[in-house]
Each structure stands twice: as C-alpha cells, then as structure tokens.
Amino acid sequence: MALTNEQLLKIFESTGGVLKGHFLLTSGRHSDTYMQCAKLFVDPAVSEKLCAELAVGLKEFNANVVVSPAVGGIIMGYEVARALGVKNFFAERVDGKMTLRRGFGLNPGDRVVVVEDVVTTGGSVKEVIALCKDAGCNVVAAASIVDRSAGKVDFGVPYKALLSVEVLSYGADECPVCKTGAPLIKPGSRNLK
C-alpha cells in the first residue's frame, strides 16, 4: 500500500526532518522550512521502507544503474538500487563539477535512474543527468523522496517523488525572513570540502 503525503509528512515530523528557521538552500534561495532527509535515514528500517516504495514506481524503466549526487543522495541511491537489484554509483563535486570518482564507471547504453533526497530547483539532479548522458547513458528517469517544487521541476525525463510539497522559497533580495534579522543557516551539503 502506497503511503499518502499525510503519512509521509508524519514520518518526516516524527524523525525531526521538518526544520523551521531561516535556511539557505542548495539552489541559493532562502526558505523558512527545510526538509532534512538525513533525519529519515538515521533509521535503516525507515530508509528501506521509503526507498523500496519509491523503487516500485521506478521498476517500469528497467534501469541497470542508479546514480545519485553526493552527499544527500548517497544513502537513498544505495537503498533504491538495492530495491531495484541494480548497481549504485554516486557523483561528487570536484572543482565545482559533478564527477564520478572512486573507480565508478558508467558504460555507454546503461539505463540510469538519477535519484536525490530533496529537489527544489533540481540543479544537482540536472548536473548528474548531464554527466550520465555525456558518458553515453540513457537516463530513463529521475526520482526523489521530496519534490519541494510541487511538480514544477522538469528534468526532460519521467520524474517520480514520494512526497510532493510546495515549500516557499525566495531570492535573497525578496526573503521576508531576512528582514527579521534571523541568522541564515546552510544545512545542505553542496559546499562540503
């Protein structure tokens, strides 16, 4: 039985995965709400359940590889790949560009699903899709646990998300939370060294 948005939100809330404050998103936008999937992945049973459910919707694409952007997508990519019974790679930023390292190698013709924990603008997913296409792969789908765009993001391939919500985000010059003087927190992993 598929989980409803309401059930998924309850799981997020029960794990402490819905944060309130003043956040700088990976996209560069600001928000008063942050969906922290890392909190979901603290419990392996929750990780397995959510990723297995997402994998059910991805089976139709007959992928043979799952690729995710590091860091947020690593655990999720592993669990989705495990549920699909396929290989799992993750891409890392090297000098600002998504790259496969650690001996990971895609083959021309691989059927790839690109997965990420949370999507707002989809920038990281788009970079990984481009990386895979440059390697001669057929990117057959993209997926995430949370779609913060409420269906507005377009990857040029079918996209599946377990939870679709519209969490408001703002450019820095129009952010109402900035006007309150609240400190800006960068919880994401884009600029990890």
pLDDT, one tens digit per residue, over 35-92 is 888 888 888 888 898 999 999 999 999 999 999 998 888 999 999 999 999 999 999 9
In a domain, 190, yes or no: no
**Res 192: pLDDT:** 46
In a domain, 16, yes or no: yes
Note down the domain range covering 11. Answer: 5-180
In a domain, 111, yes or no: yes
Higher per-residue pLDDT: 189 or 19: 19
Percent of the chain with pLDDT over 90: 47
In a domain, 69, yes or no: yes
CATH code for the domain in which residue 169 is found: 3.40.50.2020
Cis bond leading into 165, ω under 30°?
A: no
Quickly count: other Cβ atoms within 10 Å of residue 87's Cβ.
15
Look at the chain and report how many structural domains it folds into: 1
Integer angstrom CA distances of residue 117 from 28, 88, 176, 182? 17, 15, 26, 26
